[in-house]
Amino acid sequence: MKPINWKVIAQEGEARAGILQTRRSVIETPVFMPVGTQGTVKGVRYEWLESELDARIILGNTYHLFLRPGAEIIRELGGLHKFSTWNRSLLTDSGGFQVFSLTDLRKLTEEGVEFRSHIDGSKKFLSPEISMEVQAALGSEIVMVFDECPPGDAGFDKTKKSLEMTARWAKRSKDRFNELQNDGADTGFLSEPSAVAGGFGASSEKFVAEIYPPATADGSDLSGQQALFGIIQGAGHLELRKQSLDLTTEIGFDGYAIGGLSVGEEKSVMYDVIEFLAPQMPGDAPRYLMGVGTPEDLIEAVTRGVDMFDCVMPTRNGRTGGAFTSRGKINIRNAKFARDSEPLDSECPCSVCRRYSRAYLRHLYQTGEMLAAILISHHNLAFFLDLMQKVRDAIKFGAFSGFRKEFLEKLKENTPADV
Ligand SMILES: [Zn+2]
């Protein structure tokens, strides 16, 4: 038995609409996963994520949760689902990306990486094995292998060395992951089947039953274990991307991610790598582009065959007054919104846009009210999740290329003065 089911239900060019079923929820793809760094999507209650926003899967960050409150406390409290009360799917990253962002604070060896906590400066160590152990304690549905993320401008030789170590780490990750699954170390394992049903949105239940035979629509044909995704590195070097792809698929994973993009390279480099890589990635597994991106990036990557995304942008921008709209990004701090009685985006169906004006949101921001960040973050997530719904519908109806053109044109309408 497998830990996840994956099925492509419609395709237009390289763009795919699919259904990903985990032990906790059914996820329609392409999907945007809100980032819950510290076990919380900043400023947005789970009640909203479950109801209006209907997020089926969110991210947890191994690095942050490893440091605070620590894997042991989360394990004792029954895993991240139980601790945080999030009952739908979780994907946890491996901690690699955060550790390698701390350039001055780390010592890298074949064994793993020693670093100093950004919180208290204490010495910590992460390796493929430890990352798997922490992610088993967190109990996520999708676990990521521990990888090295070289800087985006690393040269050919350095990138090659790095991806070869990432492949060795991927093998070690998988070996330790398998042991932990067999030992029952995964705290996210479902003993109560009702939790599976809790992850189903009412709207998709019927739809999913049509895709999967009734006997398996509840996930009963799944193994109940965690799934493990491999990560393809290689920066902007296509030859190295191919090498990393071959090394990773040789080991074999439940899904495959493209790492090391959106780290400062030109947009065209990112799109070229995706265009080259995605169609060569196994078609019978989900493809996940890590840490990307803007609404435009999402559309461009879906066009090139990517199924899953995550990015801090909706909530990070929300905290500084940045709002994504169908006519481009605006910043609510801009004085021009002081008397603007329109919503953030008149085409957005979210509860913030149905109720609050730009002028009021600007006032909240200018007076330092925390509600400003909460409301704009909520709208931004609604915008991203609604966009992905529209993308899925367009692919299913064979109308994606037209949708893409119209969406990207409209996105350019706001002048730089609005930002
Ligand atoms: Zn809205």
Residues near ligand 1 ion, CB 5 Å cutoff: 348, 350, 352-353, 379, 382
Instruction: Kindly report which listed range (19-33, 277-291, 402-416) carries the lowest average pLDDT score.
Output: 402-416
Active-site residue, 93 included: yes
Q: Rounded to whole angstroms, how far apart are CA atoms 65 and 69?
A: 6
Other beta carbons less than 10 A from residue 161's beta carbon: 13
Whether residue 197 has pLDDT greater than 50: no
Task: Please pick, among 93, 186, 254, 345, the residue that the annotation labels catalytic.
Answer: 93
Whether residue 415 has pLDDT greater than 90: no
**Span 335-343, average pLDDT:** 98
Q: So what's the pLDDT on residue 418? A: 60
Residue 52 CA, ligand 1 centroid: distance in Å: 11
Instruction: Kindly report which listed range (121-125, 241-245, 292-296) carries the lowest average pLDDT score.
Output: 121-125
Per-residue pLDDT tens digits for 245-257: 999 999 999 999 9
Residue 345 CA, ligand 1 centroid: distance in Å: 6
Residue 390 CA, ligand 1 centroid: distance in Å: 15
Task: Confirm if 243 and 273 have CB atoms less than 8 A apart.
Answer: no
> Residues spanned by CATH 3.20.20.105 within the chain?
5-311
Give every CB contact of residue 75 below 8 A, 6+ residues apart in sequence: 137, 187
Closest CA to 285 of 133, 142, 88, 178: 142
Active-site residue, 310 included: yes
Residue carrying the six token digits 């994973």: 253
Per-residue pLDDT tens digits for 166-195: 999 999 999 999 999 999 999 998 655 444
**Span 133-157, average pLDDT:** 93
Task: Please pick, among 186, 297, 307, 310, the residue that the annotation labels catalytic.
Answer: 310
Fold of the 5-311 domain = TIM Barrel (3.20.20)
Per-residue pLDDT tens digits for 148-158: 988 878 899 99
Q: Which amino acid is at 288?
A: Y
Residue 25 CA, ligand 1 centroid: distance in Å: 25
Residue carrying the six token digits 């893409």: 404
E strand intervals along 326-387: 328-331
Quote the DSSP letter at residue 337: G
Helix and strand element counts for the chain (H, E): 17, 16
In terms of phi and psi (left: phi > 0; alpha: psi -120 to 50; beta: otherwise), the region of 262 is left
